[in-house]
Amino acid sequence: MRGQKRFAWLMATPTIIALIALGIVPLGWMIWTAFQSFPPNPANPPQFIGMRNFVDLADDPQFFGSLRTTAIVLVFSLSLQLVLGFLLALALYSIERGRGLIVSLLLIPTAIAPIVAGIVWWMLFNARFGAINSFLVQFFGIDPVNWTIEMPTALIAIIVAVVWQWTPFVAIILLGGLTTIPRDVLDAARIDGASGWRVLRYIIVPLMRPFFLVVGLLMIIEIVRLYELPFFITQGGPGNETVVAGVYLFKLAFSFFDLGRASMMSVFLVIALSLVAALYMRLVADRRMTVN
Amino acid sequence: MTTTHLMKRRTFLHGSAALGALGLSGMSLKAGASEIYNTTLNIMSHPGQILPIYTHQAEFLKANHGITMNLLESPDPTSYQDALKDLRSGGGTYDMVMHFPRYNGDLVTSGYLRPIDDLIASHNAGALFDNISDTYRKLYCEWGGNTIAIPVDGDVAMMYFRKDAFESAEVKAKYKSEFGTDLAVPRTWEQFKQVANFFTGWDWAGSGKSGYGFQTSTWDRAFIEQQWAPMMASAGGTWFDENCNPAFNNAAGVRAADDLKSLLSAAPEGSASLSWGQTMETVFAEDVAMVLWYMDLGRLGWAENSWFAASGGPEKMAKFGYGPWPGYEVDGNYRNFNSMFYGRVAGISNFTEKPDACMEVMKTLLTPERRVLSMDDAQSGSDMFLKTDYTTDSFKVLTPSQEFLDAASNVIQNGFPEMNMPGTGEYMDSLQGELHAFINGSGTAQEALDRAADRWQSITDRFGRDTQIEAWAKVRASYVSAGLNISG
């Protein structure tokens, strides 16, 4: 028994060391950095300044603007991703031949590097040369829209791109969930006279909750971390209207090279993300479910 | 004294200095004094059309000085970040770095750039440095009285106008009938707006489609201040007053912002969302009467294999005339500045153990017979910055006109520089955001500039007001030294 325990520790130790080295230490260093001020010349040591970095952030309209924009993108993108992803999953579930090929093709947007997707969508939304305006002008006679430099179209452009890139991934996860529902349960409900809607409402959706939970959490994390897509589509404009948290964090860290404020914002985002995730889990999780 | 008077006097002085430097060229302006280093330098460079600045010298430096250049590409907007990352991680990644001069203040005060006056003296390179355009040298190569960089790309924006349109009897008659005055290349921004609007919306070029009055290199959020700032300075504003309070959220700044916004309506549709390359496509694909663009256009727009060629550059170049940016009449004085934004400089890292080899590279880049190789190249983005660059005799491959080179020489001597204070990245970001929002539709110019000014005050306080006042005094001293008649 003792030998087994020792063996278990031996096997787990490399993972624990890696976790501490790659997870805990950087996190700890980030928290320490959040309370420091770094002089421009690194020959001078950093100074402990307490909450001053947070006070500076709170004084910065772009900080709150970026949180507001991120929240808007999160609410609209996540809702659309879950709804469209679920509809897509249902459609895929009903296909019996060629589903594998379709799934492979559907994953292409998710597999594309976000920086490439950002550039592609910037080109598509380009007011003068973009395909979207060409389509609208040619088929609907609509005047060209300045998608990326006016509100709310700039925000819509970002949401469209985010939904396009990640909805297939959501659909694949939810399709996996659908395949875990025993066919005979669905057949029995239909034999008992349940309509399609009632099957969906009272059988499929409840059984799918764990999958909505997992994929929703993944998408929340992804959207809060957004950087490349919005940066390349709008550069944060018009003005600062589409600066999301990820873009502003990058600016703080690398354009302004203010490591203290960047770390403080990161700490803030970790806390905010945890709260949002907890709220989402409370909304989605079945009370009878145990989520550890 | 008006800026025009200053410019003429400076033009004369510069010309004299250049001749003096050329007189010394028998020794000092020739490359090739054969110090052998047998070393490799890690040199950070902007990529693409900027690389020829170094690649043209690779064989020469290897053969004559035993210097191998290991070129490490860093995209233009992030090269400054890479330099500071190197600094934060202990230095030593690069021996030399290339950056936009706006970051001089940050890179010097952080201790990254090495002052090079001692190297200039020990390498007897004074004449080479004296051959740098005085404005460029004072504003972009020095900080606090020390030389800290050399120019590698002398970007300054100038006005290109459609000579064929301004000389057309039919067009001139139409203009006279509409405004009661003769059509002329505009001297003030008021005239510029009127002429731009006049050319917008009708087929003045006979191409069968409506023309436009104006286009500029970019309306991007990340670059919008380069268009506005010289106008603001011409109107009597500047970045800061002597106590480091913003000095642009005033009548001068508002005048410039309002004028810039109104000019957007004279540009081809959708211009505000176009990239640099796309705005140039509009210049060649459409008929645009007046264009504010960098010197690349006049230098290599004629070449059949340049990046302008695909858009129809060579055909249209014959129709362009050249001139400075318009200005403003302020209190009876005429003031005009050209945009000096987005030139490039190269400096030596404080962490290099091979400063002498780095200076050898700098000397090579400044030696007219070597430097011309990257300027006289249709694939290179390196524009003129040496006093000896502004003559057609320098060019063997490209065919810029002397008229263009004369205009370019005048323009560089009266350029409004990028603000290169410590913290310039954050200062500019807040200004760009507000300007971009205003130009694309929301609020008034005064409100936008006031918001930016409030943010600047916070940034200044965070950096330390006394520190920033001291830094701004150094920047202002460089303005005075360069002969710029900038208030503040």
Which among A126, A235, A255 has CB closest to B221? A235
State the pLDDT at residue B488.
53
Which among A61, A148, A251 has CB closest to B273? A148
**Low-confidence winner among A66-75, A199-208, B142-151 (lowest mean pLDDT):** A199-208
Test mutation, B110, B273, B431, chain A, max A CBs within 10 A: B273
What's the Cα-to-Cα distance from B348 to each of A152, B44, B108, B440, rounded to whole Å? 46, 10, 11, 40
**Low-confidence winner among A60-69, A199-208, B169-178, B306-315 (lowest mean pLDDT):** B306-315
Q: Which domain-ending residue is among B339, B372, B398?
A: B339
SS3 A73: helix
**Angstrom distance (rounded) from CA B310 to CA B297:** 13
Test mutation, A66, A128, A132, A235, chain B, max B CBs within 10 A: A128
Domain spans of chain A? 61-284
How does residue A147 score in pLDDT terms, banded at 50, 70 and 90?
very high
On whether both B385 and B330 belong to a single domain, the answer is: no
B-chain residues near A244 (CB < 8 A): none
Question: Between chains, do A41 and B274 touch, taking CB under 8 Å as contact?
Answer: no
Helix (H) or strand (E) holding A87: helix A61-94
State the pLDDT at residue B4.
38
State the pLDDT at residue A228.
93
On whether both B151 and B163 belong to a single domain, the answer is: no
Q: Is residue B130 part of a domain?
A: yes
On whether both B14 and B100 belong to a single domain, the answer is: yes
On whether both B142 and B80 belong to a single domain, the answer is: yes
The verdict on ipTM greater than 0.90 is no
On whether both B370 and B329 belong to a single domain, the answer is: no
Question: How many angstroms separate the CA of residue A188 from the nearest CA in chain B?
Answer: 57
Test mutation, B221, B284, B449, chain A, max A CBs within 10 A: B221
Indicate the average pLDDT of chain A: 92
DSSP secondary structure code for residue B125 in this structure = -
Question: Between chains, do A239 and B442 touch, taking CB under 8 Å as contact?
Answer: yes
Long-range contacts of B451-458, Cβ-Cβ distance < 8 Å, separation of 24 or more: B451/A61, B452/B246, B452/B248, B452/B249, B453/B245, B453/B246, B453/B248, B453/B249, B455/A60, B455/A61, B455/B430, B456/B246, B456/B427, B456/B430, B456/B431, B457/B245, B457/B246, B458/A56, B458/A59, B458/A60
**Angstrom distance (rounded) from CA A161 to CA A121:** 7
The residue type at B300: L
Locate B139 and state its tokens. Answer: 């504003």
Cβ atoms B422, A40 nearer than 8 A? yes
State the pLDDT at residue B400.
94
**Angstrom distance (rounded) from CA B433 to CA B421:** 19
Averaged over B413-422, what is the pLDDT?
A: 92
- Is B404 a residue whose pLDDT tops 90? yes
Averaged over A23-33, what is the pLDDT?
A: 94
Residue B384: which domain range?
Answer: 3-156+342-416
Q: Is the peptide bond before B324 cis (omega within 30 degrees of 0)?
A: no
On whether both B351 and B335 belong to a single domain, the answer is: no
Strands annotated E in chain A: 36-37, 47-48
**Angstrom distance (rounded) from CA A223 to CA A90:** 24
On whether both B187 and B306 belong to a single domain, the answer is: yes
**What residues of A are in the B interface, CB distance below 8 Å?**
40-43, 56, 59-62, 125-129, 133, 144, 146-150, 235-241, 243, 251, 254-259
What's the Cα-to-Cα distance from B200 to each of A87, B158, B189, B257, B262, rounded to whole Å? 50, 21, 16, 20, 12
How does residue A12 score in pLDDT terms, banded at 50, 70 and 90?
very high
Across the strands, what pairs with B146? Answer: B143
* Burial group, residue B344, by CB count within 10 angstroms (0-12, 13-18, 19+): buried
On whether both B84 and B197 belong to a single domain, the answer is: no
Q: How many CB pairs under 8 A join A and B?
A: 104
- Is B99 a residue whose pLDDT tops 90? yes
Which among A128, A239, A241 has CB closest to B274? A128
Q: Is residue B224 part of a domain?
A: no
The residue type at A117: A
Question: Between chains, do B81 and A128 touch, taking CB under 8 Å as contact?
Answer: no
Long-range contacts of A48-51, Cβ-Cβ distance < 8 Å, separation of 24 or more: A49/A260
DSSP secondary structure code for residue B48 in this structure = G
Buried b (16+ CB within 10 A) or exposed e, A76-85: bbbebbbebb
Question: Between chains, do B433 and A237 touch, taking CB under 8 Å as contact?
Answer: yes
**Low-confidence winner among A200-204, A269-273, A288-292, B313-317 (lowest mean pLDDT):** A288-292
Across the strands, what pairs with B216? Answer: B292
Query: How many domains, chain B?
Result: 2
Q: Which domain-ending residue is among B390, B416, B442?
A: B416
Question: Between chains, do A40 and B110 touch, taking CB under 8 Å as contact?
Answer: yes
A-chain residues near B268 (CB < 8 A): 128
Which among A40, A239, A255 has CB closest to B422? A40
Test mutation, A122, A143, A240, A258, chain B, max B CBs within 10 A: A240
Q: Which domain-ending residue is among B416, B434, B466?
A: B416
Locate B114 and state its tokens. Answer: 């090495």
Closest-CA residue of A relative to B423 is A256
Q: Is the peptide bond before A152 cis (omega within 30 degrees of 0)?
A: yes
What CATH number is associated with residue B138?
A: 3.40.190.10
- Is B192 a residue whose pLDDT tops 50? yes
Question: Between chains, do A128 and B269 touch, taking CB under 8 Å as contact?
Answer: yes
State the pLDDT at residue B277.
81
State the pLDDT at residue B427.
97
Question: Between chains, do B436 and A239 touch, taking CB under 8 Å as contact?
Answer: yes
State the pLDDT at residue B307.
81
- Is B103 a residue whose pLDDT tops 60? yes
Closest-CA residue of B relative to A237 is B221
SS3 B377: coil
Question: Between chains, do B458 and A239 touch, taking CB under 8 Å as contact?
Answer: no
State the pLDDT at residue B280.
87
- Each residue's pLDDT tens digit, B10-54: 444 444 444 444 444 444 555 545 789 999 999 999 999 999 999
- Is B183 a residue whose pLDDT tops 90? yes
State the pLDDT at residue B460.
97
**Angstrom distance (rounded) from CA A225 to CA A189:** 42
On whether both B203 and B146 belong to a single domain, the answer is: no
**Low-confidence winner among A105-114, B30-39, B279-288 (lowest mean pLDDT):** B30-39
- Each residue's pLDDT tens digit, B242-256: 999 999 999 999 999
Residue length of chain B: 488
Which among A128, A146, A239 has CB closest to B278? A128
State the pLDDT at residue A157.
97
The H helix count followed by the E strand count for chain B is 22, 15
Cβ atoms B186, B192 nearer than 8 A? yes
B-chain residues near A133 (CB < 8 A): 270
Indicate the average pLDDT of chain B: 91
State the pLDDT at residue B14.
46
**Angstrom distance (rounded) from CA B453 to CA B45:** 34
State the pLDDT at residue A238.
94
**Angstrom distance (rounded) from CA A171 to CA A174:** 5
State the pLDDT at residue B10.
42
Averaged over B161-174, what is the pLDDT?
A: 97
- Each residue's pLDDT tens digit, A38-92: 998 998 999 999 999 999 999 999 999 999 999 999 999 999 999 999 999 999 9
State the pLDDT at residue A286.
61
A48 phi and psi angles, rounded to 5 deg: -75, 125
On whether both B319 and B352 belong to a single domain, the answer is: no
On whether both B390 and B286 belong to a single domain, the answer is: no
Q: Does domain A61-284 have CATH number 1.10.3720.10?
A: yes
Closest-CA residue of A relative to B436 is A239
On whether both B46 and B86 belong to a single domain, the answer is: yes
State the pLDDT at residue B29.
59
Locate B296 and state its tokens. Answer: 């690349």
Averaged over B315-330, what is the pLDDT?
A: 93
B135 phi and psi angles, rounded to 5 deg: -60, -45
Cβ atoms A167, A80 nearer than 8 A? yes
**Angstrom distance (rounded) from CA B236 to CA B252:** 6
Closest-CA residue of B relative to A125 is B273
